[in-house]
Structure 1
C-alpha cells in the first residue's frame, strides 16, 4: 500500500508537536480559543482588528466565561493576545501607526474543523454529484483537440437549444427544471463554496508572505557582487506572480474586478432572491454581502503582495547600495547569523553583544524639578529611663500562626487514597484553608521538597475564605504523587 509521507506515524507525531492548528485543538483552553476566534473573526467575516477593539472584546468575553464557569481568567487580555501570537494563532502587524490582530490560516483551519463537527440537518449529495460530472466533462471537452468530436458536441448543443426554444415559443411557458429540494441543495452548496473562498484568501496571503521571506533570506546570505545580486533580485521578483498560487489569484482578481462580472453577479443574486425556496434560506444564509467580502479579502492579498515587494526593494537598497560603509557590513553579518539561528543553528556561547542601554536616556530641561530649599532636621534630646514592663503584655508573642507539615501530608494522603497522584486543588476542596495564604505556602513548600510536581503550563484557581471574605489565589498546578512522597525519608 502506497502511504503518503504526510500520513506516516513519524510525520504526524512531529505535526502534533509543531503545527499550530493541532496545538490549538490540544490546548486546555481550546473551547475558549475557538469560541472567541469564531465570534470575533469568522462569524463577522473580519480580517484585521485594531488592538484596542480586540482587547475590549476579549475582556468582555473573559468576563462572560468567568460568570458561566465560576473561575477567574488566569491572564490579562493583553497577555492572552501575546501568548496566542507566539503560538501562531494570531498575527500582529502594524498599519497606519496602529497595531492590528488577524487570525492565521492554521487557526482558522482548526476552528473550521470544529464547525464541521456540528451535525447538519440537511446533507445534499445530488448537486455535488452534478458538480463532479460537470467539472470532469469540462476538462474533457475543453482539452479535446479532435475536431470531429467537437463538431458533434456543438451540433448536439444547437439541436437541444433549438428544441427548447421551439417549445417556449409554442407554449409561451417555461417549466422550472429544478424542484424545491434541488434548489435548496444547490444554494447551500454555493453558499458553502463562497464562504470557503474567504478562508482560502487568508491562506494565500500567508503563503505569499512565506515566499517573500525566503527571498529575503537569500538576499541576506548573498556574498557575491552587487550586479549579480540585483540580477537575482529582479529575477526573483517575479516568483510571487509566476507561482501557481500567484497565477490563480491573478486570474481570480481579473475575473472579479471586471465590471460586467460584478453586475452579472449582483443581477443573479437579485433574481434568485425572488425564488420561494431561496427566500426561506436567506435569513440564515445571506449572500448579499459576499461580493464586497470577496473584494475586501482579495484587496488585502493584493496589498500584502505590494508591501512585501516594497520590503524586498528597501532591503536591497539598505544593505548593498551603500556596502562601502562598514556599518552596513556589520548589519549584514548580524542578519546572516540571525537567519542561521532561525533555521536551526546554535546560539553563540557567552556574551556576544553588549549595548549601554536599550534606549537613549533623554532628559528635557523643562522636566527637571525646581530647586527647593532643604529643611533643617530637628533632633530632640530626651533622657532614656529604665522600664519595668508592668504595663505590657507578652501574649501576642505566643499567638503566632503555626503550620504542622505532618498534618498537611496526612490530608494529602487521605484525599489521594489509592490513586497515584492528586492535585492541590482537590486537596483544598476536601480540606479548605484554615490559616489563609500561610497554609497555602506550606503546601507549596512541601511540593518544592520533591513531594510534588509543578506544571507551569496549567493554572489553577484556588478559592478560600479569610476573615469572612472570599479570596482566590492563581498559581501553577501542583500535583502530589505517591512515589515522590514515599521516596522522602
Structure 2
C-alpha cells in the first residue's frame, strides 16, 4: 500500500472511527477521565440516573478549577452517546436505563492507559510465555506424527529430569523475588483486557443479529435460506462461528474442576512473599477474576438467547412481511425523490400539509398529571396454588408457536404410500391443515427439500384458527421421496 493510499484510508478512519473522535474531542481529558472513572472500572454498566448525578458532581469540581464545561451531565451523556462512545440499554434488574462503554471507547481508554503507564519493552515473563505458546503451537500443528512424538517425549524427559532433581533435593530454583512479581504483573495486565474482550464479543453478536435481520428483509423467493432456517428452528446466532467459539470458551469457564483448580492456584500465589508488593486493588481483582469471568459469560449468554428468540419471534410473527413492504415503499419514495430533485427544489410547495407528531400545549394547566391510584386494583389479589402441569395444555401451546413438522412428515409419508408424486394440494386434501397457514408453510418447506417444483400453479386451501376459509395460488410442489 502506497503512502497516499494509506493516508487516505487513515483519513477516512479518523472521520468514522469513534475512538479517534474521543481522542480529538475539545474536552477529551474530561471525557476520558469521567468515562474511565465511572464506566471503565469494575462496574462496567451503571444506572443512568446515578451516572448523571456523579458526572454533575465532577462538573462542579472541574469548573471550580476554571475549566469551561458548558453542558450539564445529561447533555454530555447525550453527546457521548451520539458520538458512539457509550451505549444506552434497558436495565435488566429494574425499570430505567443503563450506560456502558462501547468497543471503540474501550479501545481509546486502553490506548491512553498504556501511554500513561507503558509496559516494559521486553520482559523475561513475556518472552517465556511467547516461547511456551509457540512451542505448543508447533507441536499441535505438526503434520508429521513422528516429529510430534519426538517433541512430546523430549518435553516429558525434561519434566522427568526436573522431578528427579526436586526429589533428590538438588533443585533450588523456585521463582521468587522480582522475577516472580514481574510474571504476576504480566498476568494481571493480560487479565485486565478480558472485560474489553467480552464487550467486543457482545458487539459481534449485535452486528450478527442486525445482519441476519437485513438478510431476511432483503431476500426474495429464490434467496430465503435464512428465513427457512428460522422456520425450522435453527439457532443461527448460536450456530454461527462466533457462537460456537464463545460456547467453547464458556464451557471452560463454567467447568467446576477447572474453576476449583484456578481458585486454588490464585490462593497459593497470593500467599507468596512477592505478592505483598501488589496493591489492594490488584489483589482484589485477581481474587475476583474467575467470578468476573462467570458473570460476563452469563451476560453474553443472555444476549445470545435474547437475540435468537427475537429473531425467531420476528419471523414467526410475520413482522418481517410488514417491514418488507415498508422498505419497498421507502426505497420507491427515495428513488422518486432523487429523480424529482433534478427539477424540483426541496422548498417548493407541494400543496400537502402534514400534522406534527408532537403534542401542542398552550399552558401548563392543559397538562393532566398521571395518578397511579386510579389504576389500583379494587379487588383482592387471588393466590393460586401451584399444581401439576397439564400436558395437553402445554402441547396446545407448543402447536400455537411451533410448526408441527412431525405431523406434516407423517401426513406426507401416508399419502406417498397410496400415490406417486403427490403435490402439496394432495397432502392438504387428504390431511387438512390443522395449524392453518403454518401447516401450509411447513409443507412447502419440506417439499423444497424432498421434492421438486413445477411450472404449473395449484390452489391451496386451509381454515384459519378463527374459522375463516383461506386460499392461495402457488407453484406446484411435488414430493418425490419419503421423509425420514
TM-score normalized with structure 2 length: 0.64
- The Cα offsets for residues 138-195 of structure 1, whole Å up to 9 and x where unpaired, read as 1111122433323333433343333333333333x75234242221221111111111
User: In the TM superposition, what are the counterparts of 1:237-316 in structure 2 within 5 Å?
Assistant: 238-283=235-280, 285-286=282-283, 287-316=286-315
Provide the C-alpha distance between the structure 1 equivalents of 2:189 and 2:43, rounded to a whole number of angstroms. 17
Provide the C-alpha distance between the structure 1 equivalents of 2:42 and 2:132, rounded to a whole number of angstroms. 30
SS in 1 for 2:221: coil
What's 1:180 paired with?
A: 177
**Alpha-carbon deviation of 1:62?**
0.9
Which of 44, 60, 64 is the equivalent residue of 2:57?
60
Q: 1:272 to 1:124 in 2, by over 3 A?
A: farther
- The Cα offsets for residues 356-411 of structure 1, whole Å up to 9 and x where unpaired, read as 745799998999xxxxxxxxxxxxxxxxxxxxxxxxxxxxxxxxxxxxxxxxxxxx
Which of 113, 116, 119 is the equivalent residue of 1:115?
113
Q: 1:115 to 1:179 in 2, by over 3 A?
A: same
Contact 2:181 2:274 in 1 (8 A): yes
Contact 2:213 2:311 in 1 (8 A): yes
What's 1:104 paired with?
A: 102
Contact 1:221 1:336 in 2 (8 A): no
- The Cα offsets for residues 313-357 of structure 1, whole Å up to 9 and x where unpaired, read as 222233358x6xxxx4xx543345669999xx9799878995674
Across the aligned residues of Structure 1 and Structure 2, the Cα RMSD in angstroms comes to: 3.7
- The Cα offsets for residues 13-65 of structure 1, whole Å up to 9 and x where unpaired, read as 111111111111111011111000110111x2222211111111111111111
By relative contact order (CA 8 Å, sep 6+), the higher-ranking structure is 1
User: In the TM superposition, what are the counterparts of 1:357-436 in structure 2 within 5 Å?
Assistant: 357-358=357-358
User: In the TM superposition, what are the counterparts of 1:199-214 in structure 2 within 5 Å?
Assistant: 199-214=196-211
Contact 1:49 1:100 in 2 (8 A): yes
Which of 8, 11, 15 is the equivalent residue of 1:10?
8
User: In the TM superposition, what are the counterparts of 1:12-51 in structure 2 within 5 Å?
Assistant: 12-42=10-40, 44-51=41-48
Provide the C-alpha distance between the structure 2 equivalents of 1:138 and 1:247, rounded to a whole number of angstroms. 23
What's 1:125 paired with?
A: 123
Question: Please, which runs of 5 or more residues in structure 1 have no aligned partner?
Answer: 368-489
Provide the C-alpha distance between the structure 2 equivalents of 1:341 and 1:293, rounded to a whole number of angstroms. 50
What's 1:317 paired with?
A: 316
Provide the C-alpha distance between the structure 2 equivalents of 1:347 and 1:58, rounded to a whole number of angstroms. 49
Q: 1:360 to 1:304 in 2, by over 3 A?
A: farther
Contact 2:216 2:224 in 1 (8 A): no
Contact 2:235 2:308 in 1 (8 A): no
Q: 1:282 to 1:225 in 2, by over 3 A?
A: same
What's 2:396 paired with?
A: none
Which of 147, 150, 164 is the equivalent residue of 1:149?
147
Provide the C-alpha distance between the structure 2 equivalents of 1:63 and 1:28, rounded to a whole number of angstroms. 18
Contact 1:215 1:236 in 2 (8 A): no
Contact 1:20 1:88 in 2 (8 A): yes
Provide the C-alpha distance between the structure 2 equivalents of 1:358 and 1:347, rounded to a whole number of angstroms. 31
Q: 1:20 to 1:54 in 2, by over 3 A?
A: same
SS in 2 for 1:69: coil
1:92 paired to 2:88: yes
- The Cα offsets for residues 249-286 of structure 1, whole Å up to 9 and x where unpaired, read as 22211100101111111100000011111221243522
SS in 1 for 2:43: coil
What's 1:333 paired with?
A: 325
SS in 1 for 2:318: helix
SS in 1 for 2:100: strand
Provide the C-alpha distance between the structure 1 equivalents of 2:179 and 2:333, rounded to a whole number of angstroms. 57
Question: Please, which runs of 5 or more residues in structure 2 have no aligned partner?
Answer: 372-484
**Of the two, which has the highest radius of gyration?**
1
Contact 2:237 2:308 in 1 (8 A): no
TM-score normalized with structure 1 length: 0.64
